[in-house]
Amino acid sequence: MSDQPDNLLPAPGVPVIPFMNWGGLSGLYIKEVRRFFKVQLQTIWAPAITTLMFLVIFTVALGGGKRVVMGLPFADFVAPGLIVMGMIQNAFANSSFALLVGKMQGTIVDYLIPPISTAELMFGLVGAAVTRAVLVGLAVWGAMLLWPGVHVTPRHIWAIVWFGLMGSTMLALMGLITSIWADKFDHAAAVTNFVVQPLSLLSGTFYSVDRLAPTFQMISHANPFFYVISGFRYGFIGVADSPVIIGALVLLGVNVVLGVVSYAILASGWKIKA
């Protein structure tokens, strides 16, 4: 008889990968990044050009070059908000597409069968969405550096990084929840048109919240998008509509809540395992 053990595999119930499956996580992340990067003209450069059109409209067509907001030329005031607005909207678009297209095309099993945990699935999808947001932000920022009359030189790098990542993560988690809930593209488009875009446009991107009536100031401060815009803008111009630390903590709390909700829904298998 052979001296080799009869069974080289772990005993039943003993996990083969006891902690994080880094191979599976990186594989999912690379897959999602490659998915949107194959159509980069649509997923990165087109959103960047669309965002620049807002700058053209508000600084040229509306005579914004003569306006001063918070002691700064209007173009310098609005540019940082446009950068991060493009980032967060594309983070939502990326994560809201991933599982939804899998459900509609019958390929959702590609996300469920691999030996990755719920947390690894969530991190992979959210990480890819944030990566797309960062690439869009860099594309818009690079174009604005070359745009005449616009100054987007960073002053507080930590604020740009924190609020950019927190905002992108918040919208990526919202998009992940949307992709689980939605049964067709119309559902995801409804969330984009009636939730994401209105909250983005009414977050103080194009105006200072301090100039609003007290009631509307309160409404603006209840909008988490406002803290993303205000904090990210502070990183470039050194001025914010609200205390920067409070905004940073608010976004951290919102992301923790959204992360817990996303994990719970994914773990339950609601609408993806039935």
pLDDT tens digits, one per residue of 130-179: 999 999 999 999 988 888 878 899 999 999 999 999 999 999 999 999 99
Are 70 and 237 within 8 A, CB to CB? yes
What tokens appear for 173 in the block?
A: 């988690």
Distance CA 160, CA 181 (A): 31
What tokens appear for 151 in the block?
A: 């100054």
Residue ranges of E strands in the chain: 68-69, 72-73
Other Cβ atoms within 10 Å of 214 Cβ, number: 7
Binned at pLDDT 50, 70 and 90, residue 61 comes out as low
Distance CA 232, CA 221 (A): 15
4 vs 201, residue with greater confidence:
201
Compute the half-sphere exposure of residue 181: CA atoms within 13 Å on the CB side of its CA. 15
- Give percent above pLDDT 90 in the chain: 54
Binned at pLDDT 50, 70 and 90, residue 65 comes out as low
